[in-house]
A = this chain, B = another copy of it.
Amino acid sequence: MDVKTLCLGLLSIREACGYDLKKTFESSFKHFFPAGYGSIYPALADLAEAELVNCREIPQVGKPDRKVYRITEAGELAFLKALNRTEPQHKLRSEFLATIYFADRIDDTRLADLLDARVEKLRESIEDISACIDDESPGASFVAGFGAVVAEAAARYIESHRHMLVGTDNQEKDIHIKVVTG
């Protein structure tokens, strides 16, 4: 599933313009499926060309015409088909973890900053996500809940295991501490 398909899915809920979709991405998808204008606008153009959506242009003063896209029947079908296609992926790409992997090459101050910054971001995103946990559909709620729980687990892990990497006392760094998963 690419940005194009996701746009189609959102348009199957309600009609919208590119700008609206971007806001939806920001509020509901940011933490697991980010997309910017550079993906959304071309996606809409493609969908329109394939006649999976219609476009109605609403003139405005002082702004570009607002292009409101509405899904077509062909679009509905295409979306349902996409929803049933092949096992959906779930991919993480973490420069953060890759960096931490080499913790022994990073000085304590920098390392502490990295860990703190990540925890802070996680806490922020938990705030964001919690705001839409009571969202429109069960699916939206489930996904938001998932994000919140996973982020919470990540933050807690970092806080409770940071001693493995950064010690107030520098000697701790050389002690090989047994990690217990649970």
Contact = CB atoms under 8 A, between A and B. Distances in A.
Nearest to A89: B95
Given A1-B99, A97-B143, A157-B146, A32 B92 contact: yes
Interface string A17-47: 0000000000011011110000000000000
Contacts of A143: 97, 100-101
A130 interface: yes
A14 interface: no
A128 interface: no
Contacts of A33: 92-95, 97-98
Interface of A is mostly: helix
Contact of A146 (B6, B97, B130): B97
Contacts of A140: 101
Interface residues of A, number: 72
Contacts of A118: 90
Interface in A82-139: 83-84, 87-106, 110, 114, 117-118, 121, 126, 130, 133-134, 137-139
Contacts of A121: 90
Contacts of A34: 91, 93
Interface stretch (A49-57, A58-66, A67-75, A173-181): A173-181
A104 B137 contact: yes
A106 B142 CA distance: 14
13 contacts: A9-B101, A32-B93, A34-B91, A97-B146, A100-B142, A101-B139, A101-B143, A103-B137, A103-B139, A104-B137, A134-B179, A142-B164, A146-B161
Give the 5 A-B CB pairs with smallest separation, nearest first. A153-B153, A103-B139, A88-B95, A1-B95, A90-B96
